Structure 1
Amino acid sequence: MTPASNLLDALNAGGCKVPYSCRAGSCHACMVRCLSGEPADAMPDALDRFQRAEGWRLSCQCLVVQDLVVEVFDPARDGLEAEVLDIHWPAADVLRLRLMPRRPLRYAAGQHLLLWNEAGVARPYSLASVPGLDDYLEFHLDCRKPGLFSDSARRLVPGDALRLGELHGGALHYDPDWDTRPLLLLGSGTGMAPLWGLLREALRHHHQGPIRVIHLAHEPGGHYLAEPLAELAAAHPGVDVRLITAAELAEVLAQFRLVSRQTIALLCGHPASVEEFARRLYLAGLPRNQLLADTFLTRDA
């Protein structure tokens, strides 16, 4: 490897085919195990101490500064097999995928998980399921654009197998101590996936404060959770749901007002949408430490 080169780039240039998605240390798709030598790590706190002790590093955040012996994550050896239980298309370009892992997986609502297909392509996806409520793992895949993973996902049928990789916490979660505080859930596209899980997690804890849900879609047909959200709102008077399209976004943001400065805001979706939402919330007076955001980018084929 060339000294001071990016470890991810060096490995892929050498034919190791290390997957990646965000290149920002968030998705954990590019994890490798260092068996000998140590790279210069720009994000040493991104992995927990147990993973680091085993030699795992995020290759996108590492520079080669000495000779290294590196072992690439092998989904057949290091991953957890999961069976496809159900495939459903709640919108033309959104795939709802439900999996059953071979053994129980401990997770929390709002986390995301690395999925591997049989071709060795890996992508991180947010969990839409809730432990204790759902006996499966659910993911919402945006299939609007071609992608090495999404194209293969279109061909999945019940009974097929995928591999599960690294489970990562991300920024989003629900804290029972927020019980009486207003919640604002803002999602764009399939950024609603973790928010759908967190909404149900809050209701499971009998959240007392008002909950406002805003889903931004490219067009009305993109509101793939419109029906289940309406059912939840009908069953819980404290839940208010608003479905908006990109054409309505500017007007909605201009008229936006906070219910309370005690509001906790959870945002997820494309970085540009999350940034617009966050900017409006700051202007409306929301303290920065009360805004939790997770962003994602789709990678084209």
Structure 2
Amino acid sequence: MPELRVGERHWSVAVGSNLLDALNQNGVPVPYSCRAGSCHACLVQCVRGLPGDSRPDALSAQQRDQGWRLACQCQVVEDLQVHAFDPQTDGRPAEVAAVDWLSATVLRLRVVPQRPLRYSAGQHLVLWAGSVARPYSLASLPQEDRFLEFHLDCRKPGEFSDTARQLRIGDPIRLGELRGGALHYDPDWHARPLWLMAAGTGLGPLFGVLREALRQDHQGAIRVIHLAHDADEHYLAKPLQAMAASRPNLSVELWTAAELPAALAQLRLVSRQTLALLCGAPDSVDAFARRLYLAGLPRNQLLADVFLPRG
């Protein structure tokens, strides 16, 4: 049986054991969220030996050369020595700048990194509050905001969101790996119709993308659609409507879950050049995507970032 070693600790595990489970079940706390290789919360560094890897494409060549792997996607196949990501030494220091509620269930967290962080609208990173970690998409814009902004869905209990409720201005927080998802704004799109379709807090990263498009003076029509459980959860309705009032090419539609079937049925493309960016829970993104494909949107003109539930 292969031996797994972390620091001074070592133990035997069955061949083919999932690395994340082998660590957590033996007292090495490695955080995780999606267990699908998307969130990067379970990043570990292989110091000696290499595991079997189901998602070699999930990390950059440089990260892999340095031994970094996603524990949830790895199997122990030989003796392996691992360094678990330590937010105190591997993370970037930051502090809480603001914590406030945008609705009854959406908590806005703003943090200021000790050193400026280079990022683009639509990216996400792992936040560490003490030993608790969770990946979140950025809702801020680097060219305009001095802080990093995140929108936390607190409808259900969660280890990180429960911790975030207790955060106060000035509290320390650590930033994990910055990662680029599918969502972004390309200046080459400036004349094309742009649809931004979000469910719940999937609106956060698309709000950043929208602001980037407006900052670059996007000339095509921009259609923003936000799907919420009910009308009270359209948590960015006022700023979106204010932006639409000053930009004739921007329209905003606020849908509720009860209205979704009828609203989707009426969805029509005005141009085959339309680009669609989708974000939110899997069922909502799937519903958006299916309707867009039926309406004639080419698949390569749809970009989606799915918020996977904790596995």
TM-score by length of 1: 0.98
Pick from 99, 102, 112 the counterpart of residue 90 of structure 1. Answer: 102
Is 1:139–2:150 an aligned residue pair? yes
Give the match for residue 259 of structure 2: 248
Pick from 70, 92, 114 the counterpart of residue 58 of structure 1. Answer: 70
What is the identity, as a one-letter code, of the residue corresponding to 2:153?
Answer: D
Pick from 20, 44, 63 the counterpart of residue 32 of structure 1. Answer: 44
**CA distance in 1: counterparts of 2:36 and 2:277, whole angstroms:** 20
Match of 2:57, SS state, is: coil
* C-alpha displacement of 1:177: 0.4
What is the identity, as a one-letter code, of the residue corresponding to 2:168?
Answer: V
Q: How does 1:59-74 map to 2 (within 5 A)?
A: 59-74=71-86
**CA distance in 1: counterparts of 2:274 and 2:21, whole angstroms:** 42
**Deviation above 6 Å: which 4+ runs of structure 1?**
none
Q: Is the 8 A contact 2:35 2:310 kept in 1?
A: no
Q: Is the 8 A contact 1:21 1:299 kept in 2?
A: yes
Give the match for residue 186 of structure 1: 197
Instruction: Encode CA deviations 1:173-216: one digit per residue, 9 max, x unaligned.
Output: 11000010000000000000000000000001110000000000
Pick from 92, 104, 108 the counterpart of residue 80 of structure 1. Answer: 92
Give the match for residue 115 of structure 2: 103
Give the match for residue 156 of structure 1: 167
* C-alpha displacement of 1:126: 0.3
**CA distance in 2: counterparts of 1:55 and 1:70, whole angstroms:** 9
* C-alpha displacement of 1:131: 1.1
**CA distance in 2: counterparts of 1:123 and 1:259, whole angstroms:** 39
Q: How does 1:179-258 map to 2 (within 5 A)?
A: 179-258=190-269
What is the identity, as a one-letter code, of the residue corresponding to 1:128?
Answer: A
Q: Is the 8 A contact 1:147 1:299 kept in 2?
A: no
Is 1:294–2:301 an aligned residue pair? no
Give the match for residue 178 of structure 2: 167
Instruction: Encode CA deviations 1:39-94: one digit per residue, 9 max, x unaligned.
Output: 11111121112111111001111111101000100001100111111122110110
**CA distance in 1: counterparts of 2:231 and 2:185, whole angstroms:** 28
Give the match for residue 188 of structure 2: 177
Percentage of identical aligned residues: 67
Q: Is the 8 A contact 1:185 1:214 kept in 2?
A: yes
- Note the residue ranges of structure 2 that are not aligned, 5 or more in a row: 1-12
What is the identity, as a one-letter code, of the residue corresponding to 2:194?
Answer: L
**CA distance in 2: counterparts of 1:173 and 1:233, whole angstroms:** 20
**CA distance in 1: counterparts of 2:25 and 2:55, whole angstroms:** 22
Give the match for residue 9 of structure 2: none
Give the match for residue 33 of structure 2: 21
Is 1:129–2:140 an aligned residue pair? yes
Match of 1:45, SS state, is: helix
Q: Is the 8 A contact 2:138 2:208 kept in 1?
A: yes
* C-alpha displacement of 1:244: 0.7
**CA distance in 1: counterparts of 2:309 and 2:172, whole angstroms:** 22
* C-alpha displacement of 1:298: 4.3
* C-alpha displacement of 1:256: 0.6
TM-score by length of 2: 0.95
Match of 2:56, SS state, is: coil
**CA distance in 2: counterparts of 1:135 and 1:117, whole angstroms:** 20
What is the identity, as a one-letter code, of the residue corresponding to 2:112?
Answer: M
* C-alpha displacement of 1:299: 3.7
